[in-house]
Amino acid sequence: MTPESDAVTLTLRPFRADDDAALISWLASPEELYLFSGPRLTWPLDGAQLDELRSDATFTTFTAELAGPAELAGPAVGHIELASTGQGRARIARVLVAPQSRGRGLGELLVRAVIAEAASRGIHSLTLFVLPSNAPAIALYEKLGFEHRGPSAELQGALLMGLELPG
Ligand SMILES: CC(C)(COP(=O)(O)OP(=O)(O)OC[C@H]1O[C@@H](n2cnc3c(N)ncnc32)[C@H](O)[C@@H]1OP(=O)(O)O)[C@@H](O)C(=O)NCCC(=O)NCCS
């Protein structure tokens, strides 16, 4: 983690309709949308799809904000979701850092924040799907201790990764 990211705190709060414009602006092409979301969201992304996602009880959707020195704190910088997959189990979904904020440790803070949120909800086992071409995301998840579990049986073409949380 860089000294810069050490200086800030990343917090998660519920994803709201007034976050839609920023989220949509962070996804510049159908390919970027697919890397982020898989088939659930379709190009062009719009508020109606995001309203539908927010109303889906399967997913808890979060917007990430920064607190810290004034020059680093500011508006939304990321998005992440948790979906229950059974008792004590959840999937991390739709991980995104604003393009202009990447490469300075925020993705790591974002995933660590949702792991902490999951632990606080009694989750002991986390999984996620990632496309094999998505080297930055795979490196991030490996750095945080996620293990490769082979091809996903649920999402064609994706890899399954998992992390067991300490009891
Ligand atoms: C994946 C993503 C969230 C990473 O966010 P980020 O803020 O740039 O990541 P960080 O700066 O916190 O980097 C943390 C680690 O991720 C890995 N990483 C990040 N960017 C990388 C890159 N371009 N190449 C290789 N590894 C990278 C590294 O392991 C890095 O640790 P290091 O700095 O010690 O090497 C961001 O690139 C993103 O939003 N991508 C588009 C959406 C997406 O693909 N989401 C994942 C869906 S499964």
**Atom number in ligand 1 closest to CA 142:** 29
pLDDT score, position 167: 79
- Phi, psi for residue 58 in degrees, rounded to 5: -65, -35
**Which residues form ligand 1's pocket by a CB distance below 6 Å?**
35-36, 95-97, 102-108, 130, 134-137, 139-140, 143
Q: Residue with the nearest Cα to atom 15 of ligand 1?
A: 140
- Counting atoms of ligand 1 from 1, which one is nearest the CA of 129? 48
Average pLDDT over residues 106-131: 98
Closest CA to 140 of 106, 116, 165, 90: 106
Mean pLDDT of 74-98: 96
Q: Is the pLDDT of residue 4 over 80?
A: no
Domains, the chain, in order of start with CATH, read 3-164 (3.40.630.30)
Question: What's the pLDDT at 75?
Answer: 85
pLDDT band at 85 (very low <50, low <70, confident <90, very high): very high
Instruction: Tell me which of 108, 126, 138 to substitute to probe ligand 1's pocket, judged by most ligand atoms within 8 Å of the beta carbon.
Output: 108
The 10s digit of each residue's pLDDT in 33-76 is 999 999 999 999 999 999 999 999 999 999 999 987 666 656 89
Task: Please tell me the total number of residues recorded for the chain in this structure.
Answer: 167
Q: What is the mean pLDDT of residues 8-19?
A: 94
- Pocket of ligand 1, candidates 33, 100, 102, 114: which has the most ligand atoms within 8 Å of its Cβ, to mutate? 102
* pLDDT confidence of residue 140: 98
**Nearest atom of ligand 1 to the alpha carbon of 2:** 33
Place of tokens 């300075």: 104
The total of other beta-carbon atoms located within 10 Å of residue 90's CB is 24
Burial of 153 (0-12, 13-18, 19+ CB in 10 A): exposed
| pLDDT above 60 for 5 | no
Residue 57: its pLDDT value, please? 96
